[in-house]
Amino acid sequence: MLQDSLPTDGSLFVVSLAVSDAIRPKVTVTLDGEQGVGIDECAQVSRRLARRVDEEYGEDASYTLEVTSPGADQPLRDARQYTRHVGRTLSLKMADGTEKTGTLEAAEPTGIQLAEVVKEKSKKKTLPAVLIPFTDISEAKVVISFK
C-alpha cells in the first residue's frame, strides 16, 4: 500500500515507517530521494496514502498520518541517501564502537569512500579515501557546518 502511494518514477523511497502504540495510532512515514524531498511531495504522498487507508479500512479508521523528510540531524538509514551527500563531512559510528569523521568522496553499492580526518599532535590530517562497507557502519550523520 505504501509503495503504491509513492511516485512511479522511483524518485522517492521510504527511509522509515513507525507506528505508535496508542489508542489513536500515529503513522510516521519518512521519505527521501536522491534529490531530496520537498513539502509538496510529502503532501502528495500523504493524500494518496490516506486515500488508500480509507479504501482499505474505511473512513472511520482512527489514526494520525505524518509524511515527512529526514531532518538534517537525522542519521542516514538507507544506502541511497549517501549519494546526495557526496562532498560533505560525515560523522560515523562504527560497528566496532570506534568513530570516524571525514569527507564522503563517493557512494558505492557496497559502501562509501571516506577521506578520514585524524588529529596528529596539534594538526588535522586528511587520509586518502578508503572503502568502508555499509555493514561496518552503525550510524552515519552529516556534519552540519555554518561556515
> What does the mean pLDDT of the chain come to?
89
Are residues 56 and 99 both part of a single domain?
no
Residue 102 lies in a domain: yes
Between CA 123 and CA 145 the distance in angstroms is: 19
Are residues 87 and 130 both part of a single domain?
yes
66 is written with which cell numbers? 505524518
Residue 147 lies in a domain: no
* Number of structural domains in the chain: 2
pLDDT digits (tens, 9 = 90+) for 26-50: 999 999 988 889 999 999 999 999 9
Are residues 92 and 131 both part of a single domain?
yes
Q: Whose CA is closest to 79, among 41, 106, 39?
A: 106
Residue 90 lies in a domain: yes
Are residues 95 and 54 both part of a single domain?
no
Q: What is residue 122's predicted lDDT score, i.e. its pLDDT?
A: 85
Are residues 41 and 89 both part of a single domain?
no
Residue 64 parent element (H or E): strand 64-68
pLDDT digits (tens, 9 = 90+) for 58-82: 877 788 999 999 988 899 999 999 9
Whether the per-residue pLDDT at 105 is higher than 90: the answer is yes
Residue 88's domain is classified under what CATH number? 2.30.30.100
Range of the domain at 88: 75-142
Q: What is residue 9's predicted lDDT score, i.e. its pLDDT?
A: 67
Residue 46 lies in a domain: yes
Look at the pTM and tell me if it is higher than 0.85: no
Between CA 43 and CA 67 the distance in angstroms is: 7
Between CA 108 and CA 55 the distance in angstroms is: 40
Are residues 84 and 50 both part of a single domain?
no
Residue 108 lies in a domain: yes
Distances (CA, A) of 33 to 39, 118, 142: 13, 31, 16
Of the CA atoms within 13 Å of residue 128, those in its CB half-sphere come to: 0
Between CA 92 and CA 23 the distance in angstroms is: 37
